[in-house]
Amino acid sequence: MIKLATIGTSWITEQFIEACIAEGSYQLSKVYSRTLDKAQAVVDKYKQGKAVDDLADLYQDDVDIIYIASPNALHYGHAIEALKHEKHVIVEKPQFANLNEWQDAHDLAREKDLYLFEAIRHIQNRNYKLLKSLLAQKLVELDQPFLGAALNIGQYSSKYDAYVDAIEHQGNLPNIFNLEFATGTLMDIGVYPIYVAVDLFGMPDQVDYQPVKGPNGVDLMGTIIFTYDTFQVTIFISKAVHSTKPSEIYIGDETIVIPYISEMDRIDVVTRQNVCVQSYQYPELQPMYDEAKYFADILQGAETDYAYQDLEKLSQQVTRVMQDLREVADIEFIKRSH
């Protein structure tokens, strides 16, 4: 069994714990929170593990891997400490705030022969993996130029109302719309379509990001364009508005339609006459099940090290692209003074 510790107690940590329990290879060993009661509540819920409020407790022998879902700006510090203490690490997306942090942490992991995963669940999803091989096949068979894709994620966050209110009344900004926390639309959900674009089509020749910014400079909505030699991927993202649009890949006389790109719960192939001719709808047992299983397979040797290296390379590429996009869009994170 893989002895698991967690940092962070929001819904996403619970979702990961549930996926690990369902998957069967993991055993919850420690749940950390700065507030012991919060950690205890999680332990009570799953009747596994021990609640702790001291990070040092995670570096004991009864922990193999530490799952980090703290606020983005704390990922780097938490990951470095865990690696220094010889623990494998899983960091929620986006793994690190910039390429320097990414390189530092991954250098350390390599030096210590430890795994450092980015938790980006849709990439391990079974529907998505089927889409990948389908697309590869279609691209080979295609007798017309490939023109590209238009990806879309517009998920209104309930924190946006709090943000508007905070701006108006000079209150505290919610973490998710705060440059001191290395957040914003691109970081928080833009990472999903970007992962897909880089994974399917490789690194673009040129990137562009034109965001609508809020009064504090954070990106609320925006348009990303990846330019490749002969095709284009355009990406609409927002955490402040609700969009019903699917993502689409245009491939000859068919269009691959992905209703929810962060979930990959369904993938359809439709003709130009709007007839659905193919559909993948394998449900995951838990939203993060396929991801938890893939990490376990790598940790336990059921997948080769190449699988890990592929994940690592992709994570690095995405981190690089996201940094380039912020530079183009003039989005600068603020060093926290407190």
Whole-number minimum distance, CB 267 to its own copies, in Å? 13
Determine whether 218 is exposed, middle or buried from the number of CB atoms within 10 Å of its CB (0-12, 13-18, 19+): buried
Asked whether 315 and 95 are in contact (CB, 8 A), the reply is yes
Asked whether 199 and 123 are in contact (CB, 8 A), the reply is yes
DSSP-derived pairing of the beta strands 254-258 and 247-251: antiparallel
For its own copies, which stretch binds (CB under 8 A), given 10-18, 67-75, 248-256, 311-319? 248-256
Q: Confirm or reject binding of residue 324 to its own copies (CB under 8 A).
A: no
Rounded Cα distance, 98 and 102, in Å? 6
Q: Confirm or reject binding of residue 260 to its own copies (CB under 8 A).
A: no
Nearest 5 degrees, angle CA 165-CA 170-CA 173?
Answer: 65
Nearest 5 degrees, angle CA 157-CA 96-CA 312?
Answer: 115
Q: Which of 71, 77, 154, 217 binds its own copies (CB under 8 A)?
A: 154
Which two tokens mark 121?
């669940």
Whole-number minimum distance, CB 200 to its own copies, in Å? 16
Whole-number minimum distance, CB 240 to its own copies, in Å? 6
Q: Confirm or reject binding of residue 319 to its own copies (CB under 8 A).
A: no
Q: Confirm or reject binding of residue 145 to its own copies (CB under 8 A).
A: yes
Q: Confirm or reject binding of residue 172 to its own copies (CB under 8 A).
A: no
Element (H, E) at 151: strand 148-154
Which two tokens mark 258?
């992905």
Which two tokens mark 177?
């719309």
C-beta closer to its own copies: residue 41 or 150: 150
Q: Confirm or reject binding of residue 170 to its own copies (CB under 8 A).
A: no
Q: Confirm or reject binding of residue 162 to its own copies (CB under 8 A).
A: no
For its own copies, which stretch binds (CB under 8 A), given 28-36, 55-63, 104-112, 228-236? 228-236
Site residues for its own copies per CB under 8 A: 144-145, 147-148, 150, 152, 154, 156, 161, 164, 208, 210-212, 214, 220-223, 225, 227, 230-232, 234, 236, 238, 240-246, 248, 250, 253, 255, 257, 270-272, 274
